[in-house]
Amino acid sequence: MNRVLNILLLTLLIHSCQNKGEVNSSDPVNWDKRTIKYVLSDSLTHGSTYMSIYSQIYSQTEHITHDLTATVSMRNTNISDTVFLKKALYFNTKGHLIRTYFDKTIFIAPMETIEIVIDERDQEGGTGANFLFDWTIKPNSNEPYFEGIMISTSGQQGLSFTTKGIRLK
């Protein structure tokens, strides 16, 4: 009985240490379920927001970087109005488009938050990554709020900070 238990524990240990595959920072949000199927009114207000994000930061010198997990938080601060996002584009430090999270109009319900998570092992963005969001709201509604939260832990040390989106148009 003891031998069977040891074999079972060894099997579980080996299985838990196996490589889980490549890094995929594609967000778990099902964008297709959020896509609206109708044309929005021309009377809506349009805008764009820029937000810096950090996949890595420099540590000690410009030759050493520290990887970070980034959470991109997209929030609707309206109590009764829906916010519509038309696209979310992710660029690296050199300004090259890394990925488009969605380019069809999606909705964020009143007081709802949706998030994109960029895995700590995903280093494509680098030290100067950024997002560009296009959005639409009803006139006199609150604009969507965009916030980035970067975090990393190593041993007993932790590092975290935030960034906020700024309106471009």
What pLDDT, in 10s, does the model give residues 43-99?
899 999 999 999 888 888 888 888 899 999 999 999 999 999 999 999 999 999 999
Residues in the chain: 169
Q: What per-residue string of b and e applies to 112-127 under the rule 16 or more CB within 10 Å gives b?
A: eebebbbebebbbbbb
Lowest mean pLDDT among 3-12, 16-25, 51-60, 69-78: 16-25
pTM passes above 0.95: no
Q: How far is CA 115 from CA 11, 12, 62, 121, in A?
A: 36, 32, 30, 18
| CATH architecture of the region 30-167 | Sandwich (2.60)
CA dihedral sign of residues 166, 40, 27, 145? positive
Tens of pLDDT, residues 141-166: 999 999 999 998 877 778 899 999 99
pLDDT higher than 60, residue 8? no
The domain ranges of the chain are: 30-167
